[in-house]
Amino acid sequence: MFKEKISCCPACGGQAIGFWLKKEKSGVIYDLWKCSTCQTGFMNPQPTKKFLASVYARSGHGLSEPISYPEVLRREEEYPNATVDSERLVSWAINYMGGGRNNQQYAIDIGSGFGFFSRAALQSGFKVKSINPGKWENQVFAEMNGFSPIPAFFEDLDLQGEKFDLVILSQVLEHIEKPYDFLVKIREIIKPGGILAIAVPNVNSIFVKILRDKDNGCLWVPEHLIHFSKLGLKALLSRTGFEIQRHIYLSRIPYFSLSNKLKLTGFKRNAVNFGVKVLQYLPLKICNLTGTGIMHNLWASPKNSQLP
C-alpha cells in the first residue's frame, strides 16, 4: 500500500525534512512530513499508484457515487465557486501571455474535473484538450462541454509533440507524486510566451494552522500527496524552468456550510447563506493579506533558458 520513504523535499529538493503530524482516514494512518527550508508538507511514505488509482477511478472530487449534470449546476448556482475561479484563472492567464490572445491558441486542462475550467477556456476562444481520470466527473464534463476528456493520467500520456499556449492545473499539483518530473513535462509542451495557471491549497492557511489533523478537508489524505507553501511553489517552478508572473492568496468558505449542518431549507437557508457570505469577507481578506489564505493562485511563464 505504501512506497519507500522519500529523502528530500518534493518542492525545493532540500534534505532538511522531518516528521510533522499524522492523519487518519478509514482506519489508515498517514504520516506527513515537512521541509524546514521551504515549509512544504508531504505524505511520507506515499501510497502506491495502484491504491491511488482505485481512489481516482471514482472521482477527484471524492465522489462515492455518480452525480448528475443538473445537480452540479444546482450546487454551482447556490455557491458559484468553480465558475468564478475558472474565469479568473483563464482571464488573468490571457493578460500575461506574450502577444495576448489570438484565434490560433490552444489550451490543455489537466485534471479537468467537472469541466468548468475547460468551459472558461473554450468561451475565451481557446481550442481545448482536457485530461481527467475520474469517470463520473467525465460524464458531467461531456454534458457541459460537448466532448469528453481523455480518461488518463497526464504522466502516462504521449502528446506526440503537441504544444499549448495555456496549461491549466486547478487543484491538481497537490495530487502529484513527483511534481518536479510533472512540471518538466509541462515545460516541454508549453509554447514560448505561454502561461501555466495553477490553483493549489496553501499549507500555511489559517485552517491548517487551527485544525491540523482534526479535519480532513484541510489536509486531505490520501489524495493530497503534497501541501505547498509559497516558497515551495516558487522553488519548484524555478527548478523546472518557470518564472512566476503573479501570485495571490484566495479564500472562500462555502456559503451553505452552516445551513447544511443545521439542515435548513427555504428562506432560513437563504438568509443563513447570505449571512455567512457577508461575515466571512473581512476575516478571510486579512488571511489573504497575511499569507494564511486557503488557496494559492499563480500564473507562471517559461523562462528563456534551456529545459532543466
pLDDT score recorded for residue 305: 46
Task: Average the pLDDT over 70-79 and give the result.
Answer: 92
Cβ atoms of 162 and 189 within 8 Å: the answer is yes
Beta bridge partners of 41: 34, 227
Q: Using an 8 Å Cβ cutoff, are 51 and 222 in contact?
A: yes
User: pLDDT band at 104, cuts 50/70/90?
Assistant: confident
What pLDDT does residue 51 have? 84
Supply the mean pLDDT for the chain: 91
pLDDT score at 61 = 55
Stretch among 13-22, 181-190, 205-214, 243-252 having the lowest mean pLDDT:
205-214
pLDDT-derived band of residue 42, with 50, 70 and 90 as boundaries? very high
**Residue 14: pLDDT over 90:** yes
β-strand partners of 169: 198
- Asked whether the predicted pLDDT for residue 308 surpasses 70, the reply is no
Look at the chain and count its residues: 308
pLDDT average, residue stretch 110-135: 95
Kindly indicate the confidence band of residue 255, based on its pLDDT and cuts at 50, 70 and 90: confident
Are β-strands 106-110 and 190-201 bridged in parallel, bridged antiparallel, or unpaired?
unpaired
Structural Rg of the chain based on CA atoms: 19
What is the mean pLDDT of the segment spanning 236-246? 97
pLDDT above 80 (res 27)? yes
pLDDT interval class at 64 (50, 70, 90): low
59 pLDDT higher than 70:
no
pLDDT at 25: 85
Q: State the pLDDT confidence band at 249, using cuts at 50, 70 and 90.
A: very high
Nearest to 196 by CA among 156, 231, 158, 237: 237
Instruction: Quickly state the pLDDT bin for 58 (edges 50, 70, 90).
Output: low
- Please write the tens of the pLDDT for every residue from 151-177: 999 999 999 999 999 999 999 999 999
Question: Between these two residues, 299 and 61, which has the higher pLDDT value?
Answer: 299
Q: Is the per-residue pLDDT at 219 higher than 60?
A: yes
Lowest mean pLDDT among 82-91, 107-116, 214-223, 290-299: 214-223
Give the DSSP per-residue string, the chain. -B-PPP-S-TTT--S-EEEEEEEEETTEEEEEEEETTT--EEESSPBPHHHHHHHHTT-TT--SS---HHHHHHHHHHS--HHHHHHHHHHHHHHHSTT---TT-EEEEET-TTSHHHHHHHHTT-EEEEE---HHHHHHHHHHHSS--B-S-GGG---TT--EEEEEEES-GGG-S-HHHHHHHHHHHEEEEEEEEEEEEBTT-HHHHHHGGG-TTTS-TTT--EEB-HHHHHHHHHHTTEEEEEEEEE----TTHHHHHHT--HHHHHHHHHHHHHHTHHHHHHHHHTT--SEEEEEEEE-SS---
Residue 32: pLDDT band by 50, 70, 90 thresholds? very high
Residue 295 reports pLDDT greater than 70: yes
C-alpha cell at 238: 524555478
Q: Indicate the residue type of 46.
A: Q
Of 1-10, 76-85, 98-107, 181-190, where does mean pLDDT reach its minimum? Answer: 98-107
Distance CA 167, CA 65 (A): 29
Give yes or no for residue 190 having a pLDDT over 80.
Answer: yes
Q: What's the CA gap between 41 and 143, in Å, rounded?
A: 37
The residue-averaged pLDDT of 18-36 equals 93
Residue 296 gets the label, from left (phi > 0), alpha (psi -120 to 50) or beta, of beta
Which domains, from first to last, does the chain contain? 17-251+293-302 (3.40.50.150)
Q: Identify any residues that bridge with 268 across adjacent strands, giving them in sequence order.
A: none
Strand order across the beta sheet in which 242-250 lies: 127-131, 106-110, 164-170, 190-201, 295-302, 242-250
